[in-house]
Amino acid sequence: MALNEEKTEGDLQQVEREIENIDWKIQTTSMPLKEEQNLVNRVRQLEAQLSLQKQIKKLKEKLVELRTEERGFRVEAKTLHGKLSELVEQSQKYHKQMIEFLNKARELQVEADDAHQKYVETKQQAQKLHQQCVELLEKIRTIKRDLKKKADKEQTKRQSEIQKELEKRALAKLKRGEKLLWEEFQILAEKGML
């Protein structure tokens, strides 16, 4: 297994563990409704991410399979081309002795034509497989870009929610006359609420 495949497998396991941990926390811990909703939303996001990562894994496996097949076709194409070259050399050799070996030369020419046709067909198959590999790589890149955009958006949203929650908590403490933590003081000072 390549390093990338190990990383993808590790990412999948990490996301699955995080989903299990959050589910366990929801089931076993009493918490405010808003916090529980946030955790449920996080589970949904992680499940969507897990689904996308599984798709990526399948696409990567298909890509490896197609590349292996492509290499096989290339080897076969080289073998057929080598055979074709041998047959052409034999054909030329026998052609010099045409009178004596005319019938044999004709048979070899037919074999050479067949081998050449197989070579052309195999080469076309290899080109098709290569095109499929290119398309799969583009799909993987697109999915990765989409995942990154989604993760960035979620990160920004989470930071904003945390900021609002801290501000709300700090204002409540301030109204009750309680001491503020340094973070809470900074947030209120930045907003000009002190």
pLDDT tens track, the chain, 194 positions: 444 555 556 678 898 898 899 889 888 888 898 998 998 999 899 899 989 999 999 999 999 999 999 999 899 989 988 898 888 888 777 667 667 766 776 787 888 898 899 999 999 998 998 999 899 999 999 999 999 999 999 999 998 898 889 889 888 988 998 888 888 888 888 888 76
pLDDT at 3: 41
pLDDT at 189: 87
pLDDT at 150: 94
Encode burial over 166-175: b for 16+ CB neighbours within 10 A, e otherwise.
bbeebbebbe
pLDDT at 101: 66
86 Cα distance to chain centroid = 43
pLDDT at 107: 81
User: Which residue type, as a one-letter code, is found at position 29?
Assistant: T
Q: What is the pLDDT of residues 90-131, one digit of tens each?
A: 877 766 766 776 677 678 788 889 889 999 999 999 899 899
* Cα–Cα distance measured from residue 49 to residue 184, given in angstroms and rounded to the nearest whole number: 33
CB atoms within 10 A of CB 94: 19
Question: What pTM, to 2 d.p., does this model score?
Answer: 0.36
pLDDT at 39: 86
* Cα–Cα distance measured from residue 182 to residue 176, given in angstroms and rounded to the nearest whole number: 17
